Structure 1
Amino acid sequence: MVIPSILLKFMFPSPSSWFVTAMMAVNLLALMDAGYMEIKGKNMRYSKFLNAGVAKKQEMKLSSRNGMLLFYTPAFLVGLASFFVFPLQDLRFVSLASALTIHFFKRVLEVLFLHKYSGSMALESAIIITMSYTSSTATMIYAQFLSRDVSEPMVDLKYIGIGLFVIGTIGNFYHHCLLANLRKKGDKEYKIPRGGLFDLVICPHYMFEILANVGILSISQTLYAFAFTLGTIFYLTGRSYGTRKWYLSKFGDKFPKDVKALIPYVF
């Protein structure tokens, strides 16, 4: 794969692995397609979008809690296992594996102890999302392992990446707490989020998730991490657009029109 010369200053050379190259293309295209579908209103069938703009049909479903637990647990276990499968690696590899493991462990803890649930999700969607998280985590770690014998990028971003990951993770968790506190126990009605950056954008948790992903990219500095992060940004941008559209349709004039989707004052 031809890499633009500017990227060579920031990225490891592309590994000679057909598996990593294929997974890079598959994940990027899948995430970009998912983002486009979100913009078009054809949402991934989980959470509050389960019945938004799609015809009802008979299908197997999971509770939202069990579905989200299924999303994140295998990827967390892959991250944890990488320390035993690839022992005694350098700081960059350990930092990447640690960031991915912490990222999904945080999500598992949020599912178990923080989030509140009001519905179900399609089993088919749960399986697709689980496979995406698990395969992307495994491939990112493997791509990092393959880079161990090649020259480091001219510009070292791993320490900046660690900082961005920490800020993104804390910001994402804080806004998840605000969302969880919107509803009391037993309350299944959706409300317009307030507090934090919710007064500026409807999806600050996605904004900080993107920041955490950029942090992971900066730690890794592999072409696979770049492609996956680019796809994630596209998907979460589409998801944010769809979320704002959903709130507008549900709350109408009660939803503040100056609250953007993802980027304060811009989008």
Structure 2
Amino acid sequence: MPSLTISSAAKPPPFARGLPVTLEYDANTTVADVKAQIAAKFPKFYPARQKLSLKNERGSLGDEKNLVDVVGEKGSELQVKDLGPQVSWQTVFLVEYGGPLLIHPLIYHLPKIFYGQNVQHSTLQKFVYVFVLLHFFKRELETIFVHRFSHGTMPLRNIFKNSAHYHILSGLALAYDIYRPKFSATSSYITGTIRDNETFLWICTGLWAFAQLSNLHTHLTLRALRPANSRVRAVPYGYGFSLISCPNYFFESLGWVVISAMTGSVAAAVFAVVSTGQMVLWALKKHKNYKKEFGKVYPRGRYAMIPFVV
């Protein structure tokens, strides 16, 4: 049975000072099996912390790859890099979306603490409050029951960076701006204006609900393409996908544009612009990967995220 040397790509972590090690493998051994063997020797070096690559190469080897296809039948040397403490993507999403679900009720129901006075909430504020809570509650449910992640974990340190976007921009900044006295029922900014018109508010509600339900539909479509516990990718078709590769991002941004337009809030506009800009970057990357992976099979003429624009 051939053997394989596993060395450390850098200074080994304290719990893996025994590197390098030699492992045996056969025709059925995968990269994931090698990671499991390393973890068996160094229990704190669990598979999600490991990045395996060929010696002196940076590219990461996919867990599903057969080892014989990577190093051949005579054996070779792989390097393992410690990726640091990991946290599941599901946990990251739950923490990200949980922030606004806690922050908005605090500022909405306890205005005296934040503004030094009570606020008689306008219909506009009530609508936006419900929108925000429903949106992030929907995202939490999707995280638990709908999303299937290509990668199981991410570095723990990234949870703070990722959460800041939601906790600060759509949490503190948006809530503090929207629920302040300027938008209250007695404010001249609201009374006698279109923002106090129920027909206008219900039209906005319809547009916002359309965006949310369409976003959910595309998430369900993407879920159906990937069997559980797999990284299988397929070309998405159907509602939302005829013109763009990432309609989930498009509908997500549309929902925030509606809130921004109906309120005139600077904080809402900033979040809409920042989040849309980030989603455009993600969409361009996914669009490029789709075309690279599926080649001529991928429908021509699709845009990345915004129909006829980008």
Do they superpose with TM above 0.5?
Answer: yes
For residue 130 of structure 1, what is the amino acid of its counterpart? S
Q: Does the 8 A contact of 2:103 with 2:175 survive in 1?
A: no
Q: Aligned pair 1:229/2:263, yes or no? A: no
Hey, what's the Cα distance between the residues in 2 that align with 1:197 and 1:250? 21
Cα shift at 1:245: 1.3
Offset from partner CA, 1:147-194 (integer Å, 9 cap, x none) = 236422654354443222111111101111101111122332122212
Determine the structure 1 residue equivalent to 2:263.
Answer: 220
**Alignment correspondent of 1:257:** 300
Could you tell me how far apart the structure 2 residues matched to 1:117 and 1:129 are?
16
2:224 to 166, 174, 181: 181
Please name the residue that 2:156 is paired with: 123
Give 3-state SS (helix, strand or coil) of 1:121's partner: strand
DSSP 3-state at the match of 2:241: helix
The answer to whether structure 1 residue 107 and structure 2 residue 150 are counterparts is: no
CA distance in 2, matches of 1:124, 1:254: 38
TM-superposed CA distance for 1:263, in Å, is: 2.4
Corresponding residue for residue 145 of structure 1:
179
Letter in 1 for 2:173: T
| Structure of greater Rg | 2
Give the aligned length.
214
Contact 2:243 2:301 in 1 (8 A): yes
* Structure 1 counterpart of 2:208: 165
1:80 to 78, 99, 105: 105
- Residues 51-70 of structure 1 correspond to what in structure 2 (within 5 A)? 58-70=83-95
SS of structure 2 residue aligned to 1:101: helix
CA contact (8 A) 1:96 1:219 kept: no
- Residue matched to 2:168: 135
**2:96 match:** 71
User: What code does the residue aligned with 1:92 have?
Assistant: L
Q: Secondary structure at the match of 1:181?
A: helix
Alignment match, 2:241: 198
Shift in Å at residue 100 of structure 1? Answer: 1.0
Alpha-carbon shift at residue 244 of structure 1 (Å): 0.5
Amino acid in the other structure paired with 1:207: F
The structural deviation recorded for 1:55 is 7.2
Aligned match of 2:284: 241
Q: What letter is aligned with 1:198?
A: F
Report the Cα distance in structure 2 between the residues aligned to 1:266 and 1:131, rounded to whole angstroms. Answer: 29
Listed as ranges, the gaps of 5+ residues in structure 1 are 1-53
Q: Secondary structure at the match of 1:118?
A: coil
Worse-superposed segment, 106-115 or 72-81: 72-81
Alignment-mate amino acid for residue 59 of structure 1: G
Aligned partners of 2:90 and 2:143 also within 8 Å: yes
With structure 2 as the length reference, what TM-score do the two structures score?
A: 0.62
Greater helix content: 1
1:117-146 deviations in Å (ceiling 9; x for gaps): 231223233221212101122211111233
Quickly say closer, same or farther: Cα 1:201–1:64, change in 2 above 3 A.
same
Kept after mapping to 1: 8 A contact 2:107/2:179: no
Deviations 1:80-132 (A, max 9, x none): 33443247522111111111111110000001111112312232332212121
Q: Given residue 124 of structure 1, which amino acid in structure 2 is its aligned partner?
A: R
> Which of the two has greater strand per residue?
2
Distance 1:257 1:59, change over 3 A: farther
User: Do the aligned residues in 1 keep the contact of 2:87 with 2:155 (CA within 8 Å)?
Assistant: yes
TM-score by length of 1: 0.72
Q: 1:90 aligns with which of 112, 115, 122?
A: 122
Aligned AA (2:164): M
Which residue identity lines up with residue 76 of structure 1 in the other structure?
A: L
Aligned equivalents of 1:208, 1:132: Cα separation in 2: 19
In structure 2, list runs of 5 or more residues that go unmatched: 1-57, 61-80, 112-118
Are the structure 2 counterparts of residues 225 and 114 from structure 1 closer, same or farther at C-alpha, using a change threshold of 3 Å? same
